[in-house]
Structure 1
């Protein structure tokens, strides 16, 4: 028995590519002005809550590629920042934040600028064979030869989320993260090799320096959460390996590639890949002690997903 399918194209079939031209003169659009006014009022309503006002600082800017002027801008300084001993005490358009996981997007941009998308279906083991050499010591570990660069960059790899960071086996981590202390009898004991020895926040909030060889071995031997491309799940480790693959391709440190691809072309002179410089401290949003709030932490190999300052 054979079946035949026929695709009929008509004048109503959508074309591939962008469906509409980019908007122009957005600032003069009545509906946009109403939306911005409503958005601004909503922010004001939430900030009237004393808790939010005390601990929340932010900057919001809306722009269009077709308009040189900002369409909307608002900055809010929390009571904590207003009283801070380090950095600025009033946030404005020149303020600098440690931007955390937005760095993941910048990491993907760097990869696409430097290597394009033709490598995304290649296995990570083409560039980081250490995963095969170090792995295989745990039950249900990742099948590294099946995990592609694209899956690492899109939270589809199925590998463990973190090494060290957010690991409750680290001494006092639950207190650092603000959780109630766990009672030892509630959890089974771990053998020493299962406990991370770097890449975590200690009880004072300082990042324990990342030892790359230990990190790769820990990631390689952590059990897989699911098979590749089975389902999305947030994964920090994937971006460490993704950035390392680009380093191996280009034979250059990722920080240099990041600077050349993102910071220099856009003239982002006050942005950085690693710990903010002394000049950046003058503009920094530092809510409290620089070490405890993460401002002065050096994240090392974790930088492709957590550490940039903009």
Structure 2
């Protein structure tokens, strides 16, 4: 099976190979190393990725990871900087054209998306009720679940202990729906909301105690679908994302919330961009939503609400094996012969979606997911590095204070901007024993819109904070590929940011992608770019 180097698991880094990947010596804040205020569609790295992906997919066909004849699939890559698709790829297996009811495969082609429906469910609930609904007991909306008279936690679920957020983050221990199929004898007429809620209250055995861990739960999302039943008729909740083709399906209406949405690449793109740009939700709500809620048995797989978060170690430079942590927010789904994936990288303002049909569709989504992530997430990181080299690095001087200047440079094997030198009135503001780097904080002047994170035209002001590290830097933990201890990391960078007030704060003035001036937060000194 083809392996993609982007999705390196953290634990294998302890191998003794000289080619092993190693976390960067500098420990950055979690999040992007550099701002994304540039036009990614014009990036050489992104354009190279577009040329590369067909060859990657051809290799997957040749290796047998993808079935060339059986499969129909469509992929789309989109960018929040341009707010549109930047790449698409379509494949129709020989003899499979009959399955395309409109005669062609494009971004308007509608397909089942299985459990990606759960993302729609969560998005609608949060958009309608606010993130505070996560703390509400589910019995507030479905009081019939509270009529559970048993206190035996081995026999029945205690629904009074379960919140809406517990269900959305799959920590309710509510299990799947297979038992309900048996309970109703497979009779669809008996699979009503009332019968399902009675089954979950009186018959369903708990899988785990609530809020202990994440265990995938189709049953929990069927329950969630009932909590949102009063708002399902308001199609505007979906249509506000410019989703022309998405709909709630009525094969068996009960299962709408967990796996019965039909949609297209165009609508998945609209959904992804609306999340990245916080179009339906406020930016603060989006940030609260896009967080891990639980871990798994893997150090690289986390669980959100209901995000399937993959924690990647991505190279900070195309030519090196030094890496940083990057979280990709994914939701996958499948209805036997129809599968799907949507993935978002907030660090890069990038997303992609996949729709697959065919007898081997269940497996095919994974190599396609890996291929897109390996090709485009990596390219987006390199594009940000190149933009930092071209537009952020440089010498900046104060016009009001002689001998006051700051020089920003790029290190090929480290994240963030290095403060190579910093002088105030001719005196060195940095000690020789200190390394200092700047990282974006995602704070922008005059707006709370998430779209500001990816805006590349005009002028914007955004904040950076300086991370200090004493030299020599302590080695990274062995689990991160370093020479430190096997269990614990000895870097505490995140604890020192903002510790002394505004002294480590800098405001960048970006004009049409280029850093033109820097202002210190504490002294309000302004440094202007010296153009060479």
TM-score by length of 1: 0.66
Q: Where does residue 261 of structure 2 map in the other structure?
A: 308
Cα contact 1:59–1:76 (8 A) shared by 2: yes
User: How far does residue 111 in structure 1 lie from its aligned partner after superposition?
Assistant: 0.7
Corresponding residue to 2:217 among 225, 235, 259: 235
Aligned counterparts, 1:169-208, within 5 A: 195-197=182-184, 200=186
Counterpart check, 1:224 vs 2:206? yes
- Which residue is equivalent to 1:244? 226
Contact 1:240 1:302 in 2 (8 A): yes
Instruction: Determine whether 1:73 maps to 2:88.
Output: yes
- Aligned equivalent of 1:171: none
- Counterpart of 2:126 in structure 1 is 112
Q: What is the SS of the residue equivalent to 1:159?
A: coil
Which 5+ residue runs of structure 1 have no aligned equivalent? 1-11, 168-194, 276-297
Mapped to 2, the partners of 1:274 and 1:40 lie a distance apart of 33
Residue 272 (structure 1) aligned to one of 235, 239, 247: 247
Aligned equivalents of 1:116 and 1:305: distance in 2? 20
Taking the TM superposition and a 5 Å limit, the aligned residue runs for 1:24-39 are 24-39=38-53
Q: Distance in 2 between matches of 1:226 and 1:256?
A: 33
Q: Contact (CA 8 Å) 1:299, 1:306: kept in 2 or not?
A: no
Aligned to 1:161: 176
CA apart distance, 1:128: 1.1
Q: Which one has a bigger Cα radius of gyration?
A: 2
Change (3 A) 1:145 1:42: same
| Aligned length, in residue pairs | 235
Residues 127 and 20 of structure 1: CA distance in aligned 2, closer, same or farther (over 3 Å):
farther
Q: Is the Cα–Cα contact under 8 Å of residues 24 and 67 in structure 1 kept in the other structure?
A: no
Q: Residue 52 of structure 1 aligns to a residue in which SS?
A: coil
In the aligned structure 2, how far is the partner of 1:299 from the partner of 1:23? 45
Aligned CA distance change for structure 1 residues 227 and 29 (closer, same or farther; 3 Å)? same
Distance apart, 1:14 and its partner CA? 8.0
Change (3 A) 1:17 1:44: closer
CA distance in 1, matches of 2:94, 2:190: 32
Give, in whole Å, the separation in 1 of the partners of 2:155 and 2:33.
45
In structure 2, runs of 5+ residues without a counterpart are 1-25, 264-532
Indicate the RMSD between aligned Cα atoms, in angstroms. Answer: 3.1
Decide which moves more: 74-83 or 89-98: 74-83
Answer whether contact 1:163 1:218 (CA < 8 A) is retained: no
